[in-house]
Structures are given as C-alpha cells and as structure tokens.
Structure 1
Amino acid sequence: MARVLQIVERHKADKGYRCLNYIIDFGFSVIIIWVLVFLFVFAQYFITGTDMEEAIDNITNINPLVDRVGALLAYGLIMFLIEKFSNGRSLGKLITGTKVVKTDGSDLTTDDLLKRNFSRAVPFDQLSFLGNSGWHDNWSNTRVVRVKAFDLAQNMQNDIESLGIKENL
C-alpha cells in the first residue's frame, strides 16, 4: 500500500464536491461523445457516400453491449486526456476548486491517471465515493483535494521545513 500523507487526507474534498464533479464531468463527456458520434456519422456520409439516414441507423442499431463498453471506454479516455493535460483538473474540478493529487505527495504520472480513469468502468464505481474514498482513488493511490486549502497547507509545511536552513547569499 502506498504512503498516505496527512496533508492529503486532511484536505480531501467532501462528498458533495465529488458528486458535483461527477455530474459535471459526466455531462461534459456525454456532450463530447455525442459530438464524436455526429462527426463519425458525418464522415461516413461524405467518405463512403452512405445516406445520412442509413449512417444514423447503423449507429442507433448497434449492439447494446458494444454501445455500453464503447461509451465506458470513451468516458475513461476523455477523462484521462482532460486530467492529463490539466494536471489532475477536469471541468468539474475546475468549477468546484478541487484537483487530483497522489496520496504520497509526488507528481501525478500517466500510469496513475490511466489507472484512475479506466477503473471507472468497474460497475458501481460511481457509488463508491459514498465510502471513505472512491475505488478509482484507492486503486490509483490518488485523492481529490480542495485546491486552495491544500496549496496553503503545503506552502505552510514547506515554510516550516525551510526554517533554519542557511541560504547561500
């Protein structure tokens, strides 16, 4: 098990923030998925010359299992890309003032974010935040923290640790 810093645990985001993050991020991801599906249908119409109605029928009559697995993978990929390029801050986290951090205080890695976002495909993961931490947080050794409080506490801790250190002038 990875080391968990007290500063991370003390500044974890409340369940209300986490729920709001999920709702915002899920809604945003659904919009992106719909845009991608529209672009796919549009490309199929122009590239293959398929009628628009036939292209739409191909999408709407897809196997339900393929549809669900594809949507889960698309959601995981979208969330991974957003959090990767924004250093752990999705749209929901930007709005609520939260971010993802490692439990041991080190920088987020691509591997951490891949574990975090693709473990969301586990059934009932959305309800796991009702416990102490979500499954996708536990499995990837990450936590969602309140940015302002966490950064302030981290700066104070760094200041305290730097006391007594002689500076080279």
Structure 2
Amino acid sequence: MKNNARIVDRHQAEKLLRFINFLIDYVFAYLVIVFLFSAIIIVYSFLTGQDYAEKAQAFGEVNPFVDRIITAFFYALLMYLTEYLTKGRSLGKFITGTLVVNENGNLPNSNDFLKRNFSRIVPFDALSFLGSRGWHDSWSDTKVVKRKSYLEAVERENSIEDIGKIAL
C-alpha cells in the first residue's frame, strides 16, 4: 500500500472539528445505548411477565462503577462497529467531513479500529487531546483527516505519479 504520511500530516482535522466529532458521537452513542437497554428491559419484562417500571427502576439502581464499565464497553463497541462498517467514519465524522486513516493514509484494519475504540475506555482519554494527539489515535497509529481535501490531495499525488509513469 502507498505511503501518504506527508499528505495525512498536512490534512489532519483541527482540534475543534475533533471536539465536535466527540460531542456528536457521544450524544448519538448515549441515545443508542439508552434505546438498546430500554428495549432489553421491555423484552425481558414481556417475556417474564414482570412489571417494566420495576425492572427499569432496578436497572437504574445498579452500582455506579458497574454502570460506567458497562456503558464504556458498549460505547467502545458501538464506535468500533460504526467506524469499521463505515470505513473510518462515525456520525460526527460524516457531519464534519472527516475520516479516520492510519498513519500512512490507508484505511485502518479491524485490529486498528478495535485498538482505537476500546482505548477510549481509559479514563481521561477525552482530555488527552489537550496534548498534541489523543491516546486513542497514538495507541492505534491512526489520525483523523479532513476527508475532502485529503482525498483531493491523494488524487493529485497519484495523477502526478501517473504522468511520470506514462512518460517512461
């Protein structure tokens, strides 16, 4: 695969875009997780004949630490599936026009996406962007680029190389 590391570095998304991605993805994931667990409680209540309100209340009274671990796991799983199935994009990335690539500019593989999204479980990962690069990017060797300008630059680079090949 071609190494487009220079192009990746020139077209990285700014911190503001990354923050907007985070907010959109966080709200989206929160809504999906609430819907998912509500659906589970409804189905469980229906199958067992138990009262939905009682089960929902019991579910809400779970240990806060356990709740955070379970929620973080489902958040990481949802983000992994979203980015993997959409080839490096999440809802936030679709809206802001950004894309996840590996450091060479290629589509990350499933293992890269897995590392990227499950490292989000680490406490304070969101604050790691106060530095130069977020932990979930550096640990998975990925970067977020502005999709349109990045793809145009890659196309220009490939066109220039094609001209050189034709001349030979």
Q: Please state which band the TM-score falls in when normalised by the shorter chain.
A: over 0.9
Residues 27-66 of structure 1 mapped to structure 2, 5 A cutoff = 27-66=27-66
Moved over 3 A (4+): none
Q: Are positions 1:108 and 2:108 aligned together?
A: yes
What secondary structure, in the 3-state scheme, does the structure 1 residue paired with 2:164 have? coil
Could you tell me which runs of 5 or more consecutive residues in structure 1 were left unpaired when the two chains were aligned: none
Q: Give distance in 2, aligned partners of 1:165 and 1:120.
A: 43
Shift of 1:4: 7.8
Structure 1 position 164, deviation (Å)? 2.5
Question: Separation in 1 of the partners of 2:166 and 2:10?
Answer: 31
Query: Structure 2 CA distance, aligned partners of 1:106 and 1:11?
Result: 14
Corresponding residue SS for 2:100: strand
Q: How does 1:3-152 map to 2 (within 5 A)?
A: 5-152=5-152
1:80 maps to a residue whose letter is Y
- Aligned letter for 2:80? F
Please give the per-residue CA displacement for 1:66-108, whole angstroms capped at 9, x wherever unaligned. 1000000010011011111110110000000001001012331
Q: Contact between 2:100 and 2:107, CA under 8 Å: does it hold in 1?
A: no
In the alignment, the residues of structure 2 paired with residue 150 and residue 163 of structure 1 have an alpha-carbon distance, to the nearest angstrom, of: 20
Deviation string, structure 1 residues 131-158 (Cα, Å, up to 9, x no partner): 2111100000000000111011101111
CA root-mean-square deviation: 1.4
AA in 1 matched with 2:100? V
Q: Distance in 2 between matches of 1:24 and 1:105?
A: 24
- Partners in 2 of 1:20 and 1:119 — Cα distance? 19
Mark the runs of 5 or more structure 2 residues left unpaired by the alignment. none
Q: What CA deviation, in whole Å up to 9, does each residue of 1:36-60 have, x standing for no partner?
A: 1110110111111111122112201
Q: Secondary structure at the match of 1:165?
A: helix
Matched length: 165
Name the CA distance, whole Å, in 2 between partners of 1:106 and 1:95: 21
| One-letter amino acid matched to 1:106 | N
Higher alpha-carbon deviation: 101-110 or 114-123: 101-110
